[in-house]
Structure 1
Amino acid sequence: MSYASLIKTLGISIDSALLELALTHSSYAYENGKIPDNERLEFLGDSVLGFVVTGHIYSTNPTLDEGSLSRIRNAAVSAKTLAVAAKNIGLGEHLRLGKGELATAGQDKPNILADALEALIGAAYISLGLDAAKKIIDDFVIPLIDSADELLETSEPRTVLQELLKSANKGEATFEVTHEGPDHDRTFFANVVVDGSTLATGSGRSRKAAEAEAAIAALKALRG
């Protein structure tokens, strides 16, 4: 397989053997005589990614405390964020997947894409050094860290809501949750209650999703 278009997108020439390894999912490796897969490179890339992203978040958010910085970092390196970065690179079309994963559109699965991106970063680090790995991160991951507030609110809206209420000297938010429908098709509804009054509502396919939607709605209401 030719990786010319991928190399052009990345703007760096990773060693061809390492690049192919980074794109080799465990399902493909298993179906082809248990050849090496990308999991070791993923392990390395995860650490390099965390190092670079942590440095960026620390330097660009000088007023945030350790807890807030940690929450932003967790959102920035989540499978959801990394999958978007991988799609922007066009990584999915280059992945070597087993027949089972191909049949279920594995090239579009967030976890597979996120893992492959970390493996790619690891391959760049081994092949060309930290600057090359950092280039991938700077070009495709850092731009997704739009703002501290947005990342915090989408990753941990309940925590942000409680912190905002505390800073405004208001009471702590409580969540009243109900549900409708049978066990296999249940919808949850959440009310955010502050000082005895319902501030916002939300719904979702799980209790957690409903509470998150309600918390985001409450944050919008508080901020006008």
Structure 2
Amino acid sequence: MILRPRKYKELEKALGHRFKDQQLIEVALTHASMRGGKTERADNERLEFIGDRVLGLVIAQVLIERFPSANEGELARRFNRLVRGEACARVARALGIGSHLILSESEAGSGGRAKGTILADAMEAILGAVFLDGGFEAARAVVRNLWTSQYDDQHSTSAGPDAKSALQEWAQGNGLALPEYVEVSRKGPDHAPRFTSEVRISGCAPARGEGSSKRAAEQAAARTLLEREGVAGAEVHE
């Protein structure tokens, strides 16, 4: 019997999971830009859908264990920081996932291997692949191992709310409608875009913010409105 070399051996070692079905990890690394054309192949969006849910459940369990006296609001803020795209992208970069991504030539040529959104989506897809390959216990072990540094990151463990969460709490506390975010513009090349977003709350003048991602621009807009209204203590991160 001839055994084929394991194409993703080093990545599997970093993950702490050896795939029984090698096709799963390959699909997890395949970006949607590979759709169409002569090289059409399955992409990672369905695995990303599963992985997002797996990550959320594991992180919720970890937070309940680590912060037994935290209330729901504090748990929610910590949770959001650990499962959002920025956190997933940081883990992906630490694993070197960018070099393994399967991208179209145009996407690769525009800096796709370094894009935070692509890395974050691939990371979630890999978690989904681990879940399908080895079950929940295997996926939980991978998340607990890879997210350890995120638990101790000052942005992840800070009890203070991010700007969007703080603005929502302020609006609710003042009997106002929930904030709505609108993308005003996107400028720059694909590998280095700049977004402008506007936050609107009925009864308040709108506020704008800029950032390197849509999420960062929304955070900046929320921060601007909070500062204008004299509400302090909210964080904003690019």
- Answer whether TM exceeds 0.5 for this pair: yes
Cα deviations by residue, 1:157-209 (Å, 9 ceiling, x for unpaired): 745996xxx9xxxxxxxxxxxxxxxxx89x9xxxxxxxxxxxxxxx9646852
Cα deviation for residue 58 of structure 1 reads 1.6
Greater helix proportion: 1
**Mean CA deviation greater in 203-212 or 75-84:** 203-212
The 3 A distance-change label for structure 1 pair 58 and 31 is: farther
1:173 alignment counterpart: none
2:53 alignment counterpart: 47
1:21 alignment counterpart: 27
1:7 alignment counterpart: 12
Which has more radius of gyration? 1
Q: Give the alignment of 1:1-224 within 5 angstroms.
A: 2-14=7-19, 15-146=21-152, 149-150=157-158, 152-154=160-162, 156=164, 158=166, 205=210, 208-209=219-220, 212=223, 218-219=232-233
Q: Is the 8 A contact 1:28 1:98 kept in 2?
A: yes
Cα distance in 2, alignment partners of residues 207 and 123 from structure 1: 31
Cα distance in 1, alignment partners of residues 218 and 107 from structure 2: 30
- AA aligned opposite 2:149: P
The 3 A distance-change label for structure 1 pair 136 and 30 is: farther
TM-score, structure 2 normalization: 0.66
For residue 96 of structure 1, give the secondary structure of its aligned residue in structure 2.
coil
Cα distance in 1, alignment partners of residues 22 and 57 from structure 2: 25
Cα distance in 1, alignment partners of residues 146 and 219 from structure 2: 29
Cα deviations by residue, 1:130-167 (Å, 9 ceiling, x for unpaired): 222112211212420226652644565745996xxx9x
CA RMSD of superposed structures (Å): 3.5
Cα deviation for residue 100 of structure 1 reads 1.7
Question: Percent same amino acid among aligned pairs?
Answer: 33
Cα distance in 1, alignment partners of residues 104 and 159 from structure 2: 34
Q: Is the 8 A contact 2:85 2:120 kept in 1?
A: yes
- The alignment of Structure 1 onto Structure 2 pairs a total of residues equal to 188
Cα distance in 2, alignment partners of residues 80 and 207 from structure 1: 14
Cα deviation for residue 67 of structure 1 reads 2.2
For residue 145 of structure 1, give the secondary structure of its aligned residue in structure 2.
helix
The 3 A distance-change label for structure 1 pair 55 and 127 is: same
- AA aligned opposite 2:112: G
TM-score, structure 1 normalization: 0.69
Cα distance in 2, alignment partners of residues 42 and 210 from structure 1: 28
Cα distance in 1, alignment partners of residues 57 and 100 from structure 2: 26
- AA aligned opposite 1:120: I
The 3 A distance-change label for structure 1 pair 94 and 74 is: same
The 3 A distance-change label for structure 1 pair 152 and 95 is: farther
Cα distance in 2, alignment partners of residues 207 and 87 from structure 1: 24
